[in-house]
């Protein structure tokens, strides 16, 4: 499948800001499931900094804006050929050991309820892959997809208690539950091509990966009750949403920041 | 040099000069208050001191009516007043601690021992702290710091930033002290030239430790015009506005030469110096002393902002 | 009733819950007896005098050779002169501005660290052996860091459990796959040593991040030279004052490949409220480099820049004295105000060197410490010159059982603790304290390690009543860059309370000048 992405992030500032620095994880991962045909990232008034592939295999690129400016636009435009690997991250080169992804973070901290959810989910599972699938189903069943019910700072434990959330909460909850059962898990950010007949329309998307012995990293998307397939584009990973964020940045200035994100992922004519 | 280091040096000098200003303002207030009050003044003399120092609002919020003892506390000991002697001495010492290695031992000793003595004073019963003692102490401390800087600091850009801070603050301070006169006598034009008027002028001179210097320079009767000339336009008078602006220009120019480039701060400081050099004392009174001083204070603040932008903020390219 | 415990309980409270090592037998209070001055003795239960800890000045009734000339010096110093000199020393410290504040304790930030004028002396041959051992250790620790952030050979070889490294809180994901210039992660390795006999040295712990205290090494020497110049004429003492230039040279040698000029080096401090600020500014001054805070630096394009009065100036090497977590809010803690946004991106794309490198902490972790001898054999193919203290990992069931059975004899430490906090010195603790600590260990065994209480050596020390033996340790500073070197000396810390084994300055310890005699 060939997917095109148009992704525009606009930061508006009430008062002009200076010294904007952003760290971008906005380039598609390199693995057997996707091949980048065209990819451009531009930042208004931006100066490109050092870029490198980090230990987790993500391309990280720094960008700075001198300012003063009252608006910054980050525009991503590209085309990626994808294929369905049933969620398996095959052919992805990375050095970070899976065990490092057992680390607790605040949003993915497993409280008693999450640990219990994980424990019940894996009971009776045949093998590690089965355990991962059961964990994903359990999280999908426990948290109803409800846009607007949570915010960027909601933790996995809070989302589970609420019984509602969005893809970020699903991913956090799955990571927490998996780690509580000793399975390394991580947060993945990317894009999703949602078709007309789908119920879900989250073009800027997030899901989780669980390390399965014998298979390696396998993606699970509890929000859509499936594993990533040809409709998904993978950008990068981290311990949690913040660590895996496509854009992390700061600016010096006194005013409030307003954020607009516009994403369109379309299937190209074949 | 690191912009933040320059900023610390600049503020050491500003805070020490500001501490001295607070003490001198207290002295002016105390001396004027010694005059029999026949109810003709615009307001209480003490109120005028607060207004000239720009701390009237803060004081009113905390204490209400201007009573001498409260004003003494507020201008000297009160940490809630960022311009009090205690606040300034503490802030100067903290700035110095940050750039400790950029100062000579003598300068650090002067600032540090001043701070330690200040803490002793704060622990003393308030009844033992009479105004004269506090004012003398402050004058001595600031003179020691100033002397140590002059005698021992390396003549590099750091020295320029110390001096730029010093002269900017001094220009502001002399202007504010002069302005006390305006607030004391505002509504009664018929007082101008009276005995009371002259007494107040000479009080100002004493507070600036410039009484004898004035007589050396002018002799004869104390008149408003002579004093205004002395404190505003006479380059021989170390506290005059002209002398402060000259000092400011000298160090800004040194900096520009050393760095091989000039900034808007130099341009504007030079313009102010040019204007003062052309000004006659009659021009000042024609414009109105208060209006002239208000304009001057604003101009000095403007140069301070440009110095910050060009050197201290770290945003310069 | 356990005899040793009853005695130990009588020790001052401050010692009991604190730190450090003691004898293989339970520690007893060291009593000074009147006859042979500054002679280490222990009065046992029956009142008999038995020699105890190794005294570095006296052995077998003789003055050991390195201390030979100090005997006359002490003899020629009456109490009045000594007290005069002590006052003079303190005035000098205050003048210079050396003060020390204890983390998290508030209190007076201008407190002086106690300085003992009686020097601690090593012979040249003693030092050469220590030096070889320390350099060996510093090389192995750096090889380990390059390995675990790369291919992980030592883990594949099964010599260290992978989980111990990869699940370690100090293992930095962001450091994986990046090799710092010259393969150096830890540019200043502080190795904490204790001595138990003439040739017996043990490494207590390694400090690979930013070992502090080097300013005391330099200032103690400076003050001793000012006060007792004659001592330095009579004894040929190796100098230490080239440390700042050696550190500067070390840091310059690890500038990034992109740096094609004389590198600009800075020291990054958390700020003037930090208890070690004095040391930061002192070092910056002696090295002739800028002392910066996070706000003084910014990232633009491929580099890190410093804000100066003449515009931006590029920075090539950052000697940082702040923790990994605060280095860069875009990579680590987003709420950090101390760091530089984007710094880690510049670092990982080769635009700047950070010393110590992010992630270096995994090598000085107390759980990893056990394996340093293995590292030395694996990476260097050498036998370790310095010994480790036998260590039990409470995370292992067998070890835990052993430790809980012998708690009153052992020293127990938190894996990530430092500064003498969160430790139990079993022999010096009350039964209640031991019981309380037992509960903490049982609740989270993986967080604790235990060691036997070592018989720390003593060094004559000036105390109120005269001169008495006090326990000491040693922290030399090994520099790792193009070369691996250390200046002959270090920081000797001394427990000033009688019988106390706590040397940490945060626990009331003092410092001494440390001499290495020239050949």
Give pLDDT, residue C21.
36
Structure tokens at C244: 């700042």
Report the CATH number that the domain containing residue A78 is assigned in CATH: 2.60.40.2250
CA distance C485 to C487: 7
**C330, A102: Cβ pair inside 8 Å?**
no
**Distance (Å) from the alpha carbon of A96 to chain C's nearest alpha carbon:** 6
Query: Is there a contact between C309 and B94 if contact means CB atoms under 8 Å apart?
Result: no
Q: How far apart are CA C512 and CA C472, in angstroms?
A: 9
Is the residue at A225 inside a domain?
yes
In a domain, B171, yes or no: yes
Nearest by CB: C296 against B2, B97, B161: B2
Q: Look at residue A35 and tell me if it is in a domain.
A: yes
Q: Which of B311, B317, B315, B314 is nearest to B158 (CA)?
A: B311
- Does A64 map to a domain? yes
The tally of domains found in chain B comes to 1
Distance from CA of C147 to the nearest CA of A (A): 12
Chain B residues inside the 8 Å CB shell of C290: 2, 5
Q: Are B3 and C293 inside 8 Å of each other by CB?
A: no
Asked whether residue A231 falls in the same domain as residue A117, the answer is yes
User: Residue C27: what pLDDT?
Assistant: 35
B311/C309 Cβ within 8 A: yes
* Ordered DSSP codes for A157-211: HHHHHHTEE-HHHHHHHHHHHHHHTT--EEEEEEEE---TT-S---SEEEEEEEE
Distance in Å, alpha carbon of C346 to nearest chain A alpha carbon: 6
Same domain membership, residue A230 and residue A103? yes
Quote ipTM for the complex.
0.93
Describe the crossing of helices B157-185 and B241-259 by its angle, rounded to 10 degrees. Answer: 160
User: Cα–Cα distance between C384 and C395 in angstroms, integer?
Assistant: 25
Q: Model confidence over C380-437: pLDDT tens digits?
A: 999 999 999 998 989 889 999 999 999 988 889 887 765 556 788 888 788 898 999 9
Nearest one of A100, A93, A105, A185 to A139, comparing CA atoms: A185
Structural domain contains residue B287: yes
Q: Mark whether A176 and A125 lie in a shared domain.
A: yes
Q: Which residues of B touch C291 (CB under 8 A)?
A: 2, 101
Q: Are strands C115-122 and C510-516 parallel, antiparallel or unpaired?
A: parallel
Is B189 inside any structural domain? yes
The CA distances from residue C182 to C150, C176, C253, C483, in Å, are 14, 16, 8, 10
Assign residue A113 a region: left if phi > 0, alpha if psi is -120 to 50, beta otherwise?
alpha
Q: Which residues of A touch C334 (CB under 8 A)?
A: 242, 248
Q: Using 50, 70 and 90 to split pLDDT, how confident is the model at C7?
A: very low
Q: Quote the mean pLDDT of chain C.
A: 84
Interchain pair C349, A50: CB under 8 A: yes
Residues on chain A bordering chain C, Cβ-to-Cβ distance under 8 angstroms: 19, 21-23, 47-56, 60-62, 64, 66, 95-100, 102-103, 239, 242, 248-250
In chain A, what residues touch C332 (CB-CB under 8 Å)? none
B101 touches chain C (CB under 8 A): yes
Assess contact for C362 and C168: CB atoms under 8 A: yes
Give the minimum alpha-carbon distance from A104 to chain C in angstroms, rounded to a whole number. 10
- Cβ of B3 within 8 Å of Cβ of C309? The answer is yes
The token pair that represents C8 in the structure block: 């130990």
* Residue B127 domain flag: yes
**Within an 8 Å CB–CB cutoff, is residue C301 touching chain B?**
no
Q: Look over chain A and give the mean of its residue pLDDT values, rounded to a whole number.
A: 93
> Considering CB atoms only, which of C149, C174, C302 is closest to A50?
C302
Chain B residues with beta carbon closer than 8 angstroms to that of C285: 101
Mutate to test the interface with A, among C300, C306, C358 (most CBs of A within 10 A): C300
**Cβ(C200)–Cβ(C454) under 8 Å?**
no
* B317 in a structural domain: no
How many domains is chain A partitioned into structurally?
A: 2
Look at B2 and C311 and tell me if their CB atoms are within 8 Å: no
Closest residue, chain C, to B263 (C-alpha): C310
Task: Report yes or no: C96 and C286 within 8 Å, Cβ to Cβ.
Answer: no
pLDDT tens profile B156-189: 999 999 999 999 999 999 998 888 776 665 445 5
Residues A200 and A262 in one domain: no
Nearest to C311 among B5, B94, B317 (CB): B317
Is there a single domain that holds both residue A77 and residue A119? no
Tokens found for residue B261: 């480039």
Confidence (pLDDT) at B194:
63
Q: How far apart are CA A19 and CA C296, in angstroms?
A: 12
Question: Same structural domain for residues A222 and A104?
Answer: yes
Whether residue A75 sits in one domain with residue A8? yes
Please give the helix or strand (H or E) that residue B19 lies within, else none: helix B3-33
Task: Name residues of chain B where pLDDT drops below 50.
Answer: 41-42, 186-187
C-alpha distance from residue C447 to each of C167, C285, C367, C396, C488 (Å): 13, 39, 9, 11, 35
Q: Do B3 and C97 touch (CB under 8 A)?
A: no
Residue B44: the pLDDT is 62
Identify the domain containing residue C2 by its residue range: 1-30+392-453
3-state secondary structure of B192: coil
Residues of C in contact with A106 (CB under 8 A): none
Task: Verify whether the Cβ–Cβ distance C307 to B315 is below 8 Å.
Answer: yes
Contact call for residues A206 and A190 (beta carbons, < 8 A): yes
Q: Is residue C91 part of a domain?
A: no
C-alpha to C-alpha distance for C8 and C428, rounded to whole angstroms: 5
Percent of chain C with pLDDT over 70: 84
Question: Which residues 6+ apart lie within 8 Å of B241 measured at CB?
Answer: B171, B174, B175, B231, B232, B233, B276, B296
Minimal Cβ distance to C171: which of A48, A49, A100: A100
Closest CB to A250: pick one of C150, C329, C349.
C329
pLDDT in tens, C199-222: 899 999 899 998 888 988 998 999
How near does any CA of chain C get to the CA of B209, in Å?
33
Q: Give me the DSSP letters along B216-279.
A: HHT-S---HHHHHIIIII-TTSTTSHHHHHHHHHHHHHHHHHHHT---HHHHHHHHHHHHHHH-
Chain A residues whose CB is inside 8 A of the C166 CB are: 97-100
Concatenated DSSP letters of C111-138: PPPPEEEEEEEE-HHHHHHHHHHHHHHH
Is the torsion defined by CA of C339, C341, C346, C348 positive or negative?
positive
CB contact under 8 A, A100 and C167: yes
- Print the domain residue range for A232: 98-238
Contact C307 B317 (CB under 8 A): no
Residue B228 CA: distances (Å) to CA of A128, B184, B224, C76: 91, 16, 6, 69
Chain B CB within 8 Å of residue C307 CB:
yes
Q: Which of C278, C285, C296 shows the shortest C-beta gap to B4?
A: C296
CATH code where residue A146 lies: 3.10.620.30
CA distance A222 to chain C (A): 26
Q: Is residue B267 part of a domain?
A: yes
Kindly give, in sequence order, each residue whose CB lies less than 8 Å from that of residue C51, ignoring residues fewer than 6 positions away: C40, C41, C42
Is residue C123 exposed (0-12), middle (13-18) or buried (19+ Cβ within 10 Å)?
A: middle
Cα distance between residue B86 and residue C24, in whole Å:
56
Pick from A47, A49, A97: CB nearest C346: A49
pLDDT 10s digits, C120-176: 999 999 999 999 999 999 999 999 999 999 999 999 999 999 999 999 999 999 999
Please give the pLDDT value at position B178.
86
Residues of chain C positioned with their CB less than 8 A from the CB of B98: 272
Angstrom distance (rounded) from CA B88 to CA B83: 6
Establish if A41 belongs to a structural domain. Answer: yes
pLDDT of residue C180: 97
pLDDT at A270: 57
Along the 270 residues of chain A, how does pLDDT read in single tens digits? 999 999 999 999 999 999 999 999 999 999 999 999 999 999 999 999 989 999 999 999 999 999 899 999 999 999 999 999 999 999 999 999 999 999 999 999 999 999 999 999 999 898 999 999 999 999 999 999 998 899 999 999 999 999 999 999 999 999 999 999 999 999 999 999 987 655 555 688 999 999 999 999 999 999 999 999 999 999 999 999 999 999 999 998 878 999 999 999 998 865
Find out whether C22 and C454 touch, Cβ atoms under 8 Å.
yes
* pLDDT the model gives residue B251: 98
What is the rounded distance in angstroms from the CA atom of residue C260 to the CA atom of residue C338? Answer: 29
C448 falls within a domain: yes
Determine the Cα–Cα distance for residues A101 and A214; give it in Å rounded to an integer.
Answer: 17
Shortest alpha-carbon distance between residue A181 and chain C (Å): 15
Whether residue A230 is found in the same domain as residue A251: no
- The C-alpha atoms of residue A56 and residue B115 are separated, in whole angstroms, by 54
Asked if B312 has any chain C CB less than 8 Å from its own CB, the reply is yes
Q: Do A60 and C342 touch (CB under 8 A)?
A: no
What are the φ and ψ backbone dihedral angles of C186, each rounded to 5 degrees?
-110, 110
* Domain identity same for A30 and A102: no
Tokens of A238: 């981290």
Asked if the Cβ–Cβ distance from B2 to C312 is below 8 Å, we say no
- Determine, for residues B97 and C272 on separate chains, whether the beta-carbon distance falls below 8 Å: yes
Q: Is residue B129 part of a domain?
A: yes
**Residue A88 within any structural domain of the chain:** no
Give residues 96 to 155 of C whose Cβ lies within 8 Å of B: 97
Residue C12 reports pLDDT greater than 50: no
Looking at B122-131, C294-303, C358-367, C372-381, which range is the least confident one?
Answer: B122-131
Coil, helix or strand at residue C225: helix
Rounded Cα distance between A18 and B179, Å, is: 39
Find, among B60, B112, B58, B106, the residue nearest to B90 by Cα.
B112
* Residue-range definition of the domain harbouring residue B273: 3-312
Tell me if B316 and C311 make a contact (CB, 8 A cut-off): yes
Residue C397's CATH number: 3.30.1490.270
Range of weakest confidence among A260-264, B106-110, C335-339, C511-515: C335-339
């Amino acid at each position: 499948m060939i997917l095109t992405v148009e992704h525009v992030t606009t930061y508006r500032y009430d008062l002009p800001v200076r010294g904007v620095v952003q760290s971008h994880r906005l380039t598609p991962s390199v693995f057997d499931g996707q091949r980048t045909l065209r990819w451009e990232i531009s930042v208004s008034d931006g100066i490109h900094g050092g870029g490198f592939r980090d230990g987790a295999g993500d391309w990280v690129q720094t960008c700075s804006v001198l300012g003063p400016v009252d608006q910054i636009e980050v525009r991503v435009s590209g085309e990626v050929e994808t294929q369905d690997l049933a969620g398996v991250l095959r052919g992805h080169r990375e050095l970070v050991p899976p065990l490092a992804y057992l680390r607790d973070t605040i949003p993915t901290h497993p409280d008693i309820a999450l640990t219990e959810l994980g424990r019940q989910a894996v009971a009776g599972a045949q093998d590690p892959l089965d355990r991962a699938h059961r964990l994903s189903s359990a999280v999908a069943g426990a948290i109803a997809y409800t846009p607007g019910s949570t915010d960027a700072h909601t933790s996995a434990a809070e989302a589970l208690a609420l019984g509602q959330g969005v893809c970020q909460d699903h991913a956090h909850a799955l990571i927490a539950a998996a780690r509580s059962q000793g399975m390394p898990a991580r947060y993945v950010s990317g894009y999703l091509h949602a078709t007309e007949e789908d119920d879900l329309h989250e073009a800027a998307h997030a899901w989780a990966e669980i390390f399965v012995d014998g298979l390696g990293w396998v993606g699970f998307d509890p929000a859509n009750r499936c594993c990533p397939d040809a409709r998904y584009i993978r950008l990068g990973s981290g311990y949690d949403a913040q660590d895996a964020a496509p854009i992390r940045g700061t600016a010096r200035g006194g005013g409030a920041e307003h954020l607009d994100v516009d994403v369109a992922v379309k299937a190209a004519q074949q | 040099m690191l912009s933040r280091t320059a900023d610390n040096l600049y503020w050491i000098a500003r805070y020490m000069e500001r501490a001295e200003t607070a003490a001198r303002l207290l002295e002016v207030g105390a001396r004027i208050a010694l005059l029999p009050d026949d109810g003709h003044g615009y307001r209480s003399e003490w109120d005028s001191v607060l207004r000239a120092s720009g701390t009237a609002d803060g004081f009113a919020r905390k204490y209400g009516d201007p009573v001498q003892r409260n004003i003494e506390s507020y201008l000297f000991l009160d940490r809630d007043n960022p311009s009090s002697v205690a606040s300034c001495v503490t802030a100067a010492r903290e700035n110095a601690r940050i750039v400790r290695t950029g100062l000579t031992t003598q300068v650090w000793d002067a600032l540090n021992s001043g701070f330690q003595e200040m803490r002793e004073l704060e622990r003393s019963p308030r009844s033992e702290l009479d105004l004269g003692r506090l004012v003398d102490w402050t004058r001595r401390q600031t003179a020691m710091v100033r002397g140590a800087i002059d005698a021992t600091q390396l003549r590099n850009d750091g020295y320029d930033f110390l001096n730029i801070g010093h002269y900017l603050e001094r220009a502001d301070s002399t202007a504010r002290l002069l302005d006390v006169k305006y607030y004391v006598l505002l509504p009664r034009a018929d007082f101008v030239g009276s005995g009371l008027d002259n007494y107040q002028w000479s009080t100002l001179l004493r507070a600036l430790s410039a009484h004898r210097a004035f007589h050396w320079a002018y002799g004869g009767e104390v008149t408003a015009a002579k004093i205004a000339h002395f404190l505003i336009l006479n380059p021989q008078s170390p506290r005059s506005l002209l002398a402060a602006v000259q000092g400011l220009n000298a160090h800004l120019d040194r900096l520009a030469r050393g760095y091989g480039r000039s900034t808007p701060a130099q341009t504007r400081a030079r313009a102010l110096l040019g204007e003062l050099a052309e000004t006659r004392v009659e021009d000042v009174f024609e414009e109105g002393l208060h209006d002239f001083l208000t304009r001057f204070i604003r101009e000095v603040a403007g140069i301070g902002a440009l110095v910050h932008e060009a050197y201290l903020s770290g945003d310069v390219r | 009733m356990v005899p040793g415990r009853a005695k130990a309980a009588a020790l001052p409270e401050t010692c009991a819950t604190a730190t450090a090592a003691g004898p293989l037998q339970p520690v007893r209070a060291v009593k000074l007896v009147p006859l042979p001055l500054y002679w280490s003795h222990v009065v046992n239960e029956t009142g008999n005098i038995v020699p105890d800890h190794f005294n570095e000045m006296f052995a077998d009734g003789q003055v050991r050779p390195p201390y030979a000339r100090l005997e006359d010096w002490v003899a020629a110093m009456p109490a009045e002169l000594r007290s005069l000199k002590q006052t003079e020393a303190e005035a000098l410290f205050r003048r210079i501005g050396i003060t020390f504040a204890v983390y998290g304790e508030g209190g007076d930030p201008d407190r002086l660290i106690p300085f003992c004028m009686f020097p601690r002396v090593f012979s040249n041959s003693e030092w050469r052996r220590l030096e070889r051992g320390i350099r060996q250790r510093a090389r192995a620790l750096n090889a380990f860091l390059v390995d675990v952030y790369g291919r992980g050979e030592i883990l594949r070889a099964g010599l260290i459990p992978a989980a111990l490294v990869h699940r370690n809180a100090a293992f930095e994901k962001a450091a994986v796959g990046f090799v710092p210039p010259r393969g150096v992660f830890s540019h200043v390795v502080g190795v904490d040593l204790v001595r138990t006999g003439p040739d017996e040295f043990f490494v207590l712990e390694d400090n690979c991040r930013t070992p502090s205290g080097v300013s005391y090494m330099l200032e103690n020497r400076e003050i001793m030279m000012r006060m007792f110049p004659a001592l330095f004429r009579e004894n040929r003492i190796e100098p230490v004052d080239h440390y700042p230039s050696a550190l500067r040279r070390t840091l310059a040698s690890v500038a990034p490949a992109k740096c094609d000029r004389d590198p600009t080096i800075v020291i990054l401090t958390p700020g003037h409220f930090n208890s070690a600020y004095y040391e930061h500014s002192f070092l910056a001054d002696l090295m002739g480099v800028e002392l910066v805070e996070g706000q003084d630096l910014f990232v633009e394009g491929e580099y890190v820049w410093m804000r100066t009065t003449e515009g931006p100036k590029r920075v090539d090497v950052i000697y940082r004295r702040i923790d990994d977590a605060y280095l860069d809010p875009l990579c680590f803690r987003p709420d950090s105000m101390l760091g530089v946004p984007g710094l880690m991106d510049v670092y990982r794309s080769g635009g700047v060197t950070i010393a110590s490198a992010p992630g270096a902490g995994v090598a000085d972790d107390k759980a990893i410490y056990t394996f340093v001898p293995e590292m030395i054999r694996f990476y260097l193919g050498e036998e370790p010159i310095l010994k480790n203290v036998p260590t039990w990992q409470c995370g292992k069931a067998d070890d835990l059982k052993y430790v809980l059975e012998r708690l009153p004899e052992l020293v127990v430490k938190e894996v990530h603790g430092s500064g003498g906090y969160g430790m139990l010195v079993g022999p010096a603790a009350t039964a209640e304290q031991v019981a309380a600590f037992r509960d903490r260990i049982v609740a989270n065994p993986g967080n604790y390690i235990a060691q036997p209480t070592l018989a720390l050596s003593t060094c004559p020390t000036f105390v109120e009543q005269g001169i008495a033996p006090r326990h000491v340790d040693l922290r030399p500073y090994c520099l790792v860059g193009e070369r691996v070197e250390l200046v002959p000396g270090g920081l000797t810390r001394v427990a000033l309370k009688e019988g106390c084994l706590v040397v940490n300055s945060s626990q009331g310890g003092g410092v001494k000048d440390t001499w290495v005699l020239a050949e």
